[in-house]
Amino acid sequence: MTDAAADYSAWIGRREISDDELALAPALAAAATLDDTLTHFEKGSPLPPLWHWFYFLPRAPQAQLDVDGHPQRGGFMPPIPYPRRMFAGARLRFHRPLLIGQPARREALIRDIRQKSGRSGSLAFVSLLCSFYQDGVLCIEEEQDIVYREPGPAVARPRVIDWPPVDNATWSRIVTPDPTLLFRFSALTFNAHRIHYDRPYAVDEEGYPGLVVHGPLTAVLLMELLRKNAPRPVASFSFRGLAPLFDLAPFRLLCSGNDGRMSLEALAPDGVAAMSASADLMPA
């Protein structure tokens, strides 16, 4: 199944271009999913940061999906055979907002592919650069880290602790993930990966204790905490997934900082960081 000596260098430099009209409906659906009842959206409204993930969606035919729900590999993405795929992190720069109802373009470039062996087995890292344009102007630059790895041991059910109080300078939120939230986010992103909605598959086939919270969902929730509290728009944002979250217990979001430099993290029910992130706000 695996071949650490496989050469995927031919995929480095491959490009993929996709266009999207940035219709109003996905933004309204995202707002409903995220319980945003305050932001008004109409044609011409700016998309909140990270909401471009609800557009430019892959549309692989049903017959071309693999057993895990992901599109079969070997097209734009290299045919790496390791079955577990994760959106491990990203670094984004927001130059100007994408506007709803206006055509936009996404250009994706495979920058690098690296393979190595770790404690959990063989891994492959694919580095993507995604650039988003509207009216020929660069709006967003996003560097993505996609990780493929071999199956590992079953993941233990998380412990649940009492979280300590936070100080007044820290914004926080408790999120209770449930199958409905995960299903709606999968639908928003046209993501058929079964670990997010098919409990028997997630537990019996991939060894997780429950449904897995999407890494991008956690990142969006962190960004929403920042967006709704920060005094200025976000100029850059980066995040790194450290451990999976599940629909078994609430998790906690934290955000703090000063002078426009913000630190964020998502804490698992046991108090351990599941995602770390940082952001810069636009200058005053």
pLDDT digits (tens, 9 = 90+) for 203-212: 999 999 999 9
Distance in angstroms (rounded) separating the CA atoms of residues 182 and 98? 25
| Positive/negative CA dihedral, 264, 159, 196, 37 | negative
pLDDT at position 120 over 80: no
What's the mean pLDDT when you consider all of the chain? 92
Which SS3 state, helix, strand or coil, does residue 157 take? coil
Residue 5's pLDDT is 58
Share of the chain residues as helix, strand and coil, in percent rounded to the nearest 5: 20, 35, 45
Place of tokens 């932001």: 39
Distance in angstroms (rounded) separating the CA atoms of residues 224 and 50? 9
Do 134 and 181 share a structural domain? no
Is the separation of the CB atoms in 110 and 16 below 8 Å?
no
pLDDT at position 3 over 70: no
Distance in angstroms (rounded) separating the CA atoms of residues 164 and 24? 40
Do 71 and 186 share a structural domain? no
Domain final residue pick, 151, 168, 193: 151
Do 21 and 117 share a structural domain? yes
pLDDT at position 149 over 60: yes
Do 35 and 119 share a structural domain? yes
Confidence grade of residue 4 (pLDDT, cut at 50, 70, 90): low
86 or 255: which carries more pLDDT confidence? 255
66 or 132: which carries more pLDDT confidence? 132
Confidence grade of residue 2 (pLDDT, cut at 50, 70, 90): very low
Is the separation of the CB atoms in 214 and 254 below 8 Å?
no
Residue 28's pLDDT is 98
Domain final residue pick, 97, 117, 151: 151
Do 11 and 147 share a structural domain? yes
Do 93 and 183 share a structural domain? no
Confidence grade of residue 173 (pLDDT, cut at 50, 70, 90): very high
Do 71 and 116 share a structural domain? yes
Do 138 and 2 share a structural domain? yes
Whole domain around residue 94: which residue ranges? 1-151
Average pLDDT of the residues in 72-96: 87
Do 259 and 186 share a structural domain? yes
Confidence grade of residue 82 (pLDDT, cut at 50, 70, 90): confident
Do 139 and 175 share a structural domain? no
CATH of the domain at 101: 3.10.129.10
Which SS3 state, helix, strand or coil, does residue 116 take? strand
Distance in angstroms (rounded) separating the CA atoms of residues 105 and 44? 16
pLDDT at position 51 over 70: yes
> How many domains is the chain partitioned into structurally?
2
Domain final residue pick, 151, 179, 200: 151
Instruction: Kindly list the distances between the CA atom of residue 52 and the CA atoms of 27, 60, 85, 86, 127, in Å, as whole numbers in the listed order.
Output: 9, 19, 21, 19, 19
Do 18 and 146 share a structural domain? yes
What tokens appear for 101 in the block? Answer: 């109802």
Do 81 and 16 share a structural domain? yes
